[in-house]
């Protein structure tokens, strides 16, 4: 069964993950997210490494806009641990990493499906 996960931000629901589903947000939010992502890719490359901690990972991979509008507040709330104190050992496939093309597509139109480790799963009819 396909996962139905949504993000609520500033009065707008969009599909999860936020970083691949910017469509529907204000021009200001979308512009900040896309500009930040492109700056991060220009500065750190398509596959940066040598992260100090999880917060450093967020900024270097997603940029300031996605970090500000979603990744930092969401992960601070979810983990209840300062992100600067978190290593990346736990991460594996739990943080969806859309390509630049997927982010751009998701800023221009509603994405038809979720992505990530739990995009589809099996759920019993009974029990």
**Number of domains making up the chain:** 1
Is 55 domain-assigned?
yes
Is 83 domain-assigned?
yes
Is 1 domain-assigned?
no
**Which parts of the chain sit beneath pLDDT 50?**
120
The CA-based angle 52-59-28, given to 5 degrees, is 170
Q: What is the pLDDT of residues 80-117, one digit of tens each?
A: 999 999 998 887 667 888 888 999 999 998 876 665 55
Is 32 domain-assigned?
yes
Q: For residue 48, give its domain range.
A: 6-108
Is 127 domain-assigned?
no
User: 2 pairs with which residues across the strands?
Assistant: 120
Is 84 domain-assigned?
yes
Q: What is the pLDDT of residue 48?
A: 77
CATH of the domain at 78: 1.10.3110
């Amino acid at each position: 069964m396909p996962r139905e996960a949504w993000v609520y931000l500033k009065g707008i629901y969009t599909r999860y993950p936020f970083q691949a589903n910017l469509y529907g947000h204000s021009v200001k939010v979308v512009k900040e997210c896309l500009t930040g992502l492109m700056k991060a890719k220009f500065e750190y490359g398509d596959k940066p490494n040598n992260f100090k901690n999880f917060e450093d990972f967020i900024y270097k991979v997603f940029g300031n806009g996605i970090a500000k509008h979603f990744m930092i507040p969401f992960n601070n709330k979810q983990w209840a641990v300062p992100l600067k104190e978190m290593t990346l050992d736990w991460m594996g496939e739990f943080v969806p990493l859309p390509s630049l093309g997927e982010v751009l597509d998701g800023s221009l139109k509603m994405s038809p499906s979720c992505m990530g480790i739990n995009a589809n799963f099996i759920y019993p009819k009974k029990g």
